[in-house]
């Protein structure tokens, strides 16, 4: 049943049948829940002041239920008095009453005075109030504080269709608890109260419930202002909403005569203003502990309950993040938290697969045969200065390979393919719940403004916008196509540059292979393959990080060359280019090792050479998977360490340098005997924010890009590196708090923007999921030794004619079967019979066979099995993925029912509210009134 929480009455008596919606709502009883708390959307409530009310138990027997806040005027007046007294410190005009909603910064020495004066005069004409304040840390800096009065807020809230609360929500009572009965439900809650508290949950007594969906919302209208619950005009619009309204005005105010001469973005671009940002709500630290004195403001609360490193194991306060930074940033942290949580089962399974390989490392039949092959002579690894070597010398290499190439590899690859699908499908459901909780279901992104660069370029060509009906600049199709072709050509050129860098690394590996194989130091000579792979990976990593700097600038230039129409189009185009560049840059060398290394090396006596000089690299007798694993492990670890250092280190150094300059200026002032500069603690909030670093110019592109590339590394080659999900999980636990610390303490407060999803990144994630299935199938079939071992066990091994199929028994003799024989007596002038023949990894006929060195039947069996495995694996996994995606709906059924029911009730409530208002007006005027619609 649905109930209206503003008319709570716990009653056991049944009432007669009613007709109106309000009577229906009064009749029902409410199941206590977090969402049935009072609507706090319109009060900037201090957390400490609502601790008592939020922690009050709500039971049917409790007489002081949540109506206490609504039905007791004295208590409510006291609470409102507390709310009114909690204005953010340092965020007011000089009169101590008007709240600062936005800050503009300009230099006094700027020559563009006329544009600034015109712009500020037009801002005042739009209804905004401005006040100027000089900086205490820089005599050339002036701050313009902006305040939006009540009438201006109402006018633009109506124009922007901002949804505001107008009535308490009704909720759908759980039919299961109703069927169980009140007593059983009470006993279940008692048992839950005895269980230990989940340590990952945040303490509700210190973190208030700030959900705005405790009330029905509707687009704000001044004509129907009586519908909305306005208890306090100062707190009806939240800080983020006020900043969003002011930003809307700043984007549409002219600074010169002309169609395109408007907007704060153009003024920031031409240097009229240095910066424009909403101010933080205050400091993020306090002298007093939060447990005893409460939080000073929401920024302080976010730091203590979210951004501190000690909170690494706690859930994120998404409602508070969304309220302070806006829905777009809130969705990023919700997605990052969801991705991190979903990595836990993947990391556990990957760790189990690795432990299985570790525990069976010594008992593996392949490893034992390699370690015991003291008499097996392998062919020399290079043309010069290399001698034949014993197969037993690579015992350690074979054991390490077994850690990642064992019986659990196929299972883990299938598991991760299914995991990627489940992750994306359940994220859709999570996103649907968040958009409902954050009141974004019916929100549609408003028509975006044209980018100033687009207007300046195509101001001479105009056509009527079919949405707004107004003329606007227009980009011809031929011009758009030609620019797109140039951009695509630039993308292919940069990708070819990456492939050139990979080719250079391959050449280095070929040179290093010969040098390490003939090294004087016995340790390096014995482990030349580890040395070659390790140095190649390190050099490749340095090339990757160097090219990343170039790619960002190239992507920026190519995106500007296309002249996207709006900011969202620009961001999507830039994000796609950055992903393509960095994905190819990061994975091209990995693809080479996985699918090309050792495939075209040839055979002894007929090796393929690069430029007829360097012999192509070949795989180890135990397989090429260890090279791929080493490549992924080193790049993944080093890249994550480097990214985390740059994300936190750069803002810290910049802010430290700003504080150092302030202290230096203070010392100079004291030396001159002038007026001392205020200490940092005494600086006004806008001065502190100015000394912080602005958010990245590309918004959340860099944050998403880092995580999406990590998702690709975690899924695409996971068959070769089962520890990848574990490394990603450990990194993300740090990443969440690092990003939180950066947003709360090191960056200026970004503009609170709205969004309903993660944008183009979801499509990229789906594409990575499809690519992961294909690459893992090829890695298992081609790179690993799973298929050759499988074919040997069931076709050539000792268990072919027997009923049992024990892995170690069936693989006896596998190593000898996978090595071919080469006669090196002629080339190396070997006369001793025992050392004339050497072995090499391949399926070729012996030198004394009728057709020497020709492929054997076993080679074709292995090849057929590899191709069959790829087809079966892909069809099986894609079928499972499609079936799971079909089974999991994008939106929970309960949420669909709740939305439909609430939409119906909202229409009824709007009808009755309007009717009640008209009846009051008629009664006041002395006219007759009826219960029917007039």
SS3 string, 431-482, reads: HHHHHHHCCCCCCCCCCCCECHHHHHHCCCCEEECCCCCCEEECCCHHHHHH
Q: How far is CA 118 from the centre of its chain?
A: 41
Closest residue by Cα to residue 295 from 224, 177, 206: 206
**Single pTM value for the model:** 0.80
Closest residue by Cα to residue 698 from 495, 551, 493: 551
8 Å CB contact between 450 and 909 = no
pLDDT, tens digit, 9 for 90 and up, residues 447-458: 566 776 777 777
The mean pLDDT value for 813-835 works out to 71
Q: How far is CA 706 from the centre of its chain?
A: 8
Q: What is the pLDDT of residue 485?
A: 92
Q: How far apart are CA 60 and CA 66, in angstroms?
A: 11
SS3 552: helix
Helix (H) or strand (E) run with residue 106 in it: strand 102-107
pLDDT, tens digit, 9 for 90 and up, residues 284-309: 888 888 877 778 888 888 998 898 88
Q: Is the pLDDT of residue 3 over 80?
A: no
The mean pLDDT value for 688-715 works out to 87
DSSP annotation of 929 reads -
> Phi and psi at residue 450, in whole multiples of 5°?
-70, 145
Q: What is the pLDDT of residue 622?
A: 65
Q: Is the pLDDT of residue 828 over 90?
A: no
Closest residue by Cα to residue 606 from 596, 597, 615: 615
Q: What is the pLDDT of residue 69?
A: 29
Whole-angstrom CA distances from 271 to 93, 105, 739, 791, 888 are 26, 10, 29, 70, 51
Q: Which residue has the higher pLDDT, 871 or 62?
A: 871
Listed in order, strand segments (DSSP E) in 374-426 are 377-378, 389-390
Q: Is the pLDDT of residue 21 over 50?
A: no
8 Å CB contact between 282 and 91 = yes
509-546 per-residue burial string, b: 16 or more CB within 10 A, e: under 16 = bbebbbebbbbeeeeebbbbbbbbbbebbebbbebbee
Query: How many domains are there within the chain?
Result: 2
Interhelix angle 408-437/893-924, rounded to 10 degrees, is: 0
929: CB partners within 8 A, 6+ apart: 918, 919, 922, 923
pLDDT, tens digit, 9 for 90 and up, residues 784-813: 888 988 898 888 888 877 765 666 778 888
Q: Is the pLDDT of residue 71 over 80?
A: no
The mean pLDDT value for 749-757 works out to 86
8 Å CB contact between 748 and 103 = no
Residue 163: strand pairing partners: 219
Structure tokens at 809: 């028994």
Closest residue by Cα to residue 298 from 651, 43, 38: 43
The mean pLDDT value for 265-278 works out to 88
Q: Which residue has the higher pLDDT, 516 or 321?
A: 321
* 6-15, 435-444, 636-645: segment of lowest average pLDDT: 6-15
pLDDT, tens digit, 9 for 90 and up, residues 754-777: 888 888 999 999 999 999 999 989
Q: How far apart are CA 329 and CA 323, in angstroms?
A: 10
Q: What is the pLDDT of residue 137?
A: 81
- Alpha helix (H) residue ranges in 673-723: 685-690, 701-716
Q: Among 730, 748, 773, identify where a domain stops.
A: 773
pLDDT classification of 11: cutoffs 50, 70, 90:
very low
Q: Which residue has the higher pLDDT, 58 or 661?
A: 661
Q: Is the pLDDT of residue 7 over 50?
A: no
pLDDT classification of 278: cutoffs 50, 70, 90:
very high
760: CB partners within 8 A, 6+ apart: 572, 575, 576
Q: How far apart are CA 551 and CA 493, in angstroms?
A: 11
pLDDT, tens digit, 9 for 90 and up, residues 845-899: 988 888 888 989 999 999 999 999 999 999 999 999 889 888 888 888 888 877 7
pLDDT, tens digit, 9 for 90 and up, residues 420-432: 989 999 999 999 8
Q: Is the pLDDT of residue 123 over 70?
A: yes
The mean pLDDT value for 375-379 works out to 84
pLDDT classification of 14: cutoffs 50, 70, 90:
very low
Interhelix angle 701-716/761-778, rounded to 10 degrees, is: 20
Q: How far apart are CA 910 and CA 21, in angstroms?
A: 11
Q: What is the pLDDT of residue 228?
A: 81
Q: Is the pLDDT of residue 665 over 70?
A: no
CA dihedral 106, 108, 112, 113 (to 10 degrees): 100
pLDDT classification of 120: cutoffs 50, 70, 90:
very high
Q: How far apart are CA 862 and CA 788, in angstroms?
A: 6
Q: What is the pLDDT of residue 517?
A: 63
Q: Among 718, 745, 773, identify where a domain stops.
A: 773
pLDDT, tens digit, 9 for 90 and up, residues 592-604: 888 887 777 778 8
> Phi and psi at residue 812, in whole multiples of 5°?
-65, 130
- Confirm whether 216 is domain-assigned: no
Q: Is the pLDDT of residue 749 over 50?
A: yes
8 Å CB contact between 619 and 600 = no
Q: How far apart are CA 792 and CA 800, in angstroms?
A: 9
Q: How far apart are CA 223 and CA 744, in angstroms?
A: 39
Q: What is the pLDDT of residue 385?
A: 66
Q: What is the mean pLDDT of the chain?
A: 77
Interhelix angle 567-595/477-517, rounded to 10 degrees, is: 30
Tokens 């792979």, residue located: 533
8 Å CB contact between 422 and 884 = yes
Q: How far apart are CA 39 and CA 41, in angstroms?
A: 6
Q: What is the pLDDT of residue 260?
A: 65
Q: What is the pLDDT of residue 12?
A: 34
Residue 844: strand pairing partners: 855
pLDDT classification of 181: cutoffs 50, 70, 90:
low
The mean pLDDT value for 175-200 works out to 64
Q: Is the pLDDT of residue 543 over 80?
A: yes
Q: How far apart are CA 81 and CA 83, in angstroms?
A: 5
Q: Is the pLDDT of residue 18 over 50?
A: no
pLDDT, tens digit, 9 for 90 and up, residues 306-354: 988 888 888 898 888 988 998 899 999 999 999 999 999 999 999 999 9
pLDDT classification of 730: cutoffs 50, 70, 90:
very high
> Same structural domain for residues 411 and 558?
yes
Q: Among 710, 742, 773, identify where a domain stops.
A: 773
> What percent of the chain has pLDDT above 70?
76
> Same structural domain for residues 632 and 765?
yes
CA angle 391/394/398 to nearest 5° reads: 110
Structure tokens at 623: 């397989």
Q: What is the pLDDT of residue 675?
A: 47
Q: What is the pLDDT of residue 58?
A: 33
Q: What is the pLDDT of residue 454?
A: 78
Closest residue by Cα to residue 330 from 764, 762, 765, 756: 756
- Confirm whether 729 is domain-assigned: yes
pLDDT, tens digit, 9 for 90 and up, residues 382-407: 766 677 878 887 888 888 888 888 88
DSSP assignment of 110-134, as one string? -S-HHHHHHHHHHHHHTT-EEEEEE
- Confirm whether 268 is domain-assigned: no
Q: Please classify residue 291 by burial: count the beta carbons closer than 10 Å to its beta carbon, then call 0-12 exposed, 13-18 middle and 19+ buried.
A: exposed
Where in the sequence is the domain holding 905, given as residue range(s)?
892-933
Q: How far apart are CA 62 and CA 557, in angstroms?
A: 65
Q: Is the pLDDT of residue 176 over 70?
A: no
- Confirm whether 310 is domain-assigned: no
Closest residue by Cα to residue 60 from 224, 182, 179: 182
């Amino acid at each position: 049943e649905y109930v209206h929480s503003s008319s709570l009455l716990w009653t056991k008596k049944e009432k007669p049948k009613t007709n109106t919606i309000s009577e229906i709502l009064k009749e029902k009883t409410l199941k206590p829940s977090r969402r049935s708390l009072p609507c706090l959307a319109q009060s900037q409530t201090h957390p400490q002041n609502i601790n008592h009310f939020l922690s009050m138990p709500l039971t049917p027997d409790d007489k002081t239920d949540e109506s206490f806040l609504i039905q007791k005027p004295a208590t409510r007046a006291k609470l409102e008095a507390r709310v009114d007294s909690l204005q953010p410190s340092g965020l007011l005009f000089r009169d101590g009453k008007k709240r600062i909603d936005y800050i503009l910064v300009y230099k006094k020495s700027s020559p563009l005075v006329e544009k600034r004066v015109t712009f500020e005069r037009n801002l005042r004409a739009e209804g905004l109030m401005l006040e100027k304040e000089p900086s205490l840390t820089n005599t050339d800096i002036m701050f313009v504080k902006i305040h939006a009065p009540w009438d201006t807020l109402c006018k633009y809230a109506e124009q922007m269709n901002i949804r505001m609360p107008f009535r308490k929500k009704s909720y759908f009572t759980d039919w299961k608890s109703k069927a169980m009965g009140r007593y059983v439900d009470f006993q279940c809650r008692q048992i839950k109260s005895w269980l230990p508290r989940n340590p990952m949950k945040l303490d509700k007594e210190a973190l208030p419930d700030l959900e705005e969906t405790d009330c029905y919302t509707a687009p704000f209208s001044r004509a129907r202002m009586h519908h909305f619950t306005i208890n306090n005009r100062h707190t009806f619009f939240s800080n983020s909403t006020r900043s969003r309204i002011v930003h809307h005005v700043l984007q549409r105010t002219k600074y010169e005569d002309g169609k395109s001469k408007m907007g704060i973005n153009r003024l920031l671009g031409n240097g009229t203003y240095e910066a424009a940002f909403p101010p933080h709500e205050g400091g993020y630290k306090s002298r007093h502990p939060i447990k005893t004195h409460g939080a000073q403001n929401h920024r302080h609360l976010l730091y203590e309950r979210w951004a501190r490193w000690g909170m690494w194991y706690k859930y994120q306060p998404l409602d508070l993040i969304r309220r302070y930074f806006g829905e777009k940033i809130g969705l990023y942290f919700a997605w990052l938290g969801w991705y991190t949580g979903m990595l836990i089962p993947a990391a556990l399974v990957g760790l189990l697969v690795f432990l299985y390989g570790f525990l069976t490392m010594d008992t593996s039949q392949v490893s034992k045969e390699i370690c015991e092959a003291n008499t097996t002579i392998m062919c020399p690894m290079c043309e010069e200065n290399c001698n034949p070597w014993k197969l037993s010398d690579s015992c350690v290499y074979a054991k390490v390979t077994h850690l990642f190439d064992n019986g659990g590899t196929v299972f883990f690859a299938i598991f991760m393919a299914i995991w990627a699908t489940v992750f994306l499908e359940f994220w859709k459901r999570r996103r649907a719940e968040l958009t409902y909780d954050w009141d974004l279901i019916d929100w549609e992104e408003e028509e975006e403004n044209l980018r100033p660069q687009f207007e300046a370029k195509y101001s001479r060509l105009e056509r009527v916008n079919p949405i707004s009906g107004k003329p606007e600049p227009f980009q011809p199709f031929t011009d758009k196509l030609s620019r797109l072709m140039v951009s695509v050509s630039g993308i292919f050129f940069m990708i070819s540059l990456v492939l050139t860098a990979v080719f250079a690394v391959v050449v280095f590996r070929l040179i290093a292979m010969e040098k390490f194989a003939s090294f004087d130091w016995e340790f390096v000579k014995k482990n030349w393959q580890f040395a070659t792979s390790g140095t190649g990976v390190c050099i490749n990593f340095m090339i990757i990080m160097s090219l990343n700097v170039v790619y960002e600038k190239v992507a920026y230039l190519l995106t500007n060359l296309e002249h996207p129409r709006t900011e969202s189009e620009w961001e999507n185009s830039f994000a796609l280019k950055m992903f393509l560049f960095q994905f190819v840059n990061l994975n091209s060398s990995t693809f080479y090792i996985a699918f090309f290394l050792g495939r075209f090396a040839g055979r002894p006596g007929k090796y393929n050479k690069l430029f007829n000089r360097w012999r192509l690299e070949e795989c180890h007798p135990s397989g090429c998977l260890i090279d791929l694993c080493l490549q992924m492990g080193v790049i993944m670890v080093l890249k994550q360490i480097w990214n985390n250092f740059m994300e936190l280190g750069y803002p810290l150094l910049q802010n430290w340098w700003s504080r150092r300059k302030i202290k230096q200026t203070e010392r100079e002032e004291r030396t001159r005997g002038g007026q001392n500069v205020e200490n940092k603690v005494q600086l006004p909030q806008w001065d502190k924010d100015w000394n912080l670093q602005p958010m990245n110019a590309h918004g959340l592109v860099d944050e998403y890009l880092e995580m999406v590339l990590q998702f690709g590394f975690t899924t695409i080659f996971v068959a070769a590196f089962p520890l990848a999900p574990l490394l990603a999980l450990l990194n993300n636990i740090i990443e969440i708090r690092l990003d939180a610390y950066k947003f709360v303490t090191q960056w200026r407060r970004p503009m609170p923007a709205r969004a309903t999803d993660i944008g183009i990144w979801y499509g990229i994630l789906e594409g990575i999921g499809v690519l992961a299935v294909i690459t893992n199938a090829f890695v298992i079939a081609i790179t690993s030794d799973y298929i050759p071992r499988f074919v040997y066990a069931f076709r050539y091994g000792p268990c072919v004619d027997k009923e049992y199929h024990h892995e170690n028994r069936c693989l006896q003799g596998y190593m000898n079967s996978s090595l071919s024989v080469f006669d090196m007596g002629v080339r190396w002038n070997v006369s001793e019979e025992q050392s004339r023949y050497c072995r090499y990894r391949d399926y070729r006929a012996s030198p004394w066979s009728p057709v020497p060195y020709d492929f054997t039947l076993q080679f074709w069996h292995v090849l057929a099995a590899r191709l069959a495995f790829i087809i079966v694996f892909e069809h099986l996994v894609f079928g499972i993925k499609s079936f799971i995606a079909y089974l999991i709906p994008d939106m929970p059924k309960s949420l669909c029912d709740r939305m439909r029911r609430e939409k119906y009730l909202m229409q009824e409530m709007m009808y009755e509210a309007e009717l009640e208002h008209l009846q009051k007006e008629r009664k006041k005027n002395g006219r007759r009134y009826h219960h029917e619609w007039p």
